[in-house]
Structure 1
Amino acid sequence: MPQSRNGFIQRLARLSLCAGVAMVPMAVQAAEDDPWESINRPIFRFNDLVDTYTLKPIAQGYQFIAPQFVEDGVHNFFNNIGDVGNLANNVLQAKPHAAGVDTARLIVNTTFGLLGFVDVGTRMGLQRSDEDFGQTLGYWGVGSGPYVVLPLFGPSTVRDTFAKYPDSYTTPWRYVDHVPTRNSALGVNLIDTRASLLSAERLVTGDKYTFIRNAYLQNREFKVKDGQVEDDF
């Protein structure tokens, strides 16, 4: 009996050692990607608190009240505006085919799609891009830099943070002088974006901060490399 117990303890010790060794690369990678975690976590908690008591309830109420066709129309409208940024960044990334698709989408959705409320382009086989200046910088070899959590804006990197300013030039809000109109449009866009993320919350497991950080970084790498990423394993 003692020998059996000793054997079990030895096997358990070996398994624990193997698990610890396997976790070392993950811990090292996390330290490299997120050296400012001690600052990021409090900001994340603040953002999560604001979201829990303001944005999320408003988004849930919006989904409860608005008919599905209204939600789809509003979402399509803001996507159509976003295609301007997609076009600009595809041009900057020297992707003529993608830029041509963006141009065609803007034309058909703005005209036949009633200012974008109906996504005619997708029905015609013109698939939407998802580009921004952060991806453009990454495309030309600019590193992402450390992971950062921005107050109210959420997950980002140093590269993506600086890229937000050039991206603002491709949005119409920058050129709207009427403050109530501009703020109302920004508010509706924010609510639409938050509502579109409600269903994704069911995917969050374990430590929420770590899950969102890893998901964000992996998603950004996937987008910058246009899906040509190597499996870590």
Structure 2
Amino acid sequence: MILKLTQAIDLNALRKGLLAAALLALAGCTIAKPRTDDPWEKFNRKVYHFNVKVDNAVIRPTAVVYRKITTPNMRRVISNFFANIRMPITIANDALQGEIKDALKSTGRFVINTTVGFLGFFDPASKLHLPQQESDFAVTLAKWGVNEGPYLVLPFLGSTSARDVWRMPVDGRLFDPMGYYSRTHDYELGREYWPSMLFLVTLRARGIDAENIVNGAYDPYIFYRDAYRQRRLYLIYDGEPPFEAIQQLQGVQLDDIDALLEEQQDYEKAQRDAEKKDPH
């Protein structure tokens, strides 16, 4: 439904509207404090468990095969390519946020890696002190002063929020070259979507290395939720969130922290006891 609505909007008018909104909003807005509540938790947990089942049945096995048939260097080169081809998303949103210096740096990185770096497979720009930066339309909305809204888990897509969900149709429709490619081509077997699918597989393959951390968490749902919120906070503040925002995100109730630590310790003890009873 969201994609159909965005397709019905005149792109030139939308771009002009975004630029106008950016100029007005940047005049005096402040970034809203991060939320720590989860009013849609009941729904989110159901979708989270559905996504875990889909991941275990299809996505993770595909990522495992991808890792088996590729070397670390091959995966690095492919990841470089996707990071480069998605750079227009960051460039456009930096401009909408009024971060012209960052937009120019990202543009320089994109040009260098696309040419000297052979379509982005290699990363000479980093050696020229143009490190990779990341931004999206959700970060733009945050810097315009739009509240985060409730945390949300979507089928197949995973963690997002009522604000962050808009980066998918807006960035995908306006700024993502892979989105443009899939819309303007029509091949047999849906081959126009293969680049996007390979990109998702590369992301999942990278996550395999962190699975032990997630599996050791008392409540993986909470782990993913808090990790997502923390990552978004660092993106919004360009990697340097103020202490007040970090404190707000983590919470300051010592009783709650102690309770969570106790639950984690009980969970780890139960896991050790189970392993002793059944070492296989």
So what's the TM-score if we normalise by structure 2?
0.69
Asked whether 1:196 is paired with 2:235, we answer no
Distance 2:145 2:96 in 1: 13
**Do structure 1's residue 222 and structure 2's residue 234 form an aligned pair?**
yes
1:100 is aligned with what amino acid?
L
Q: Which has the higher mean CA deviation after the structures are superposed, 190-199 or 37-46?
A: 190-199
What is residue 47 of structure 1 aligned with on the other side? 51
Which of 143, 147, 161 pairs up with 2:147? 143
Check if 1:178 corresponds to 2:186.
yes
Q: CA deviation at 1:219?
A: 1.5
Q: What runs of 5+ residues in structure 2 fail to find an aligned partner?
A: 1-33, 253-280
Cα separation, 1, equivalents of 2:195 and 2:178: 8
Question: Among 170, 173, 185, which residue is 1:166 paired with?
Answer: 170
- Residue 175 of structure 1: how far off its partner (Å): 2.5
Letter in 2 for 1:183: Y
Listed one character per residue, the Cα deviations across residues 151-181 of structure 1 (whole Å, up to 9, x for unaligned) are: 0000000001122111112112332213433
In structure 1, list runs of 5 or more residues that go unmatched. Answer: 1-28
Deviation at 1:123, TM superposition (A): 2.0
Q: Contact 1:221/1:229 (CA < 8 Å) preserved in 2?
A: no
Q: The residue matched to 2:159 in structure 1 has which SS?
A: strand
Are residues 1:101 and 2:105 paired? Answer: yes
Name the structure 2 match of 1:112.
116
After superposition, give the CA deviation of every residue in 1:32-65 in whole Å (9 maximum; x if it has no partner). 6310111110100000111112111111111111
Equivalents in 2 of 1:33, 1:136: separation in Å? 22
Does the 8 Å CA contact 1:222/1:229 hold for their aligned counterparts?
no
Q: State the shift of 1:68 in Å.
A: 2.0
Runs ≥4 residues deviating over 4 A:
none
Which residue pairs with 1:25 in the alignment?
none
Larger radius of gyration: 1
- In the alignment, the residues of structure 1 paired with residue 179 and residue 213 of structure 2 have an alpha-carbon distance, to the nearest angstrom, of 35
Q: Does 1:89 align with 2:93?
A: yes
Is the Cα contact below 8 Å between 2:233 and 2:241 reproduced in 1?
no
Contact 1:47 1:151 (8 Å CA) reproduced: yes
Letter in 1 for 2:131: Q
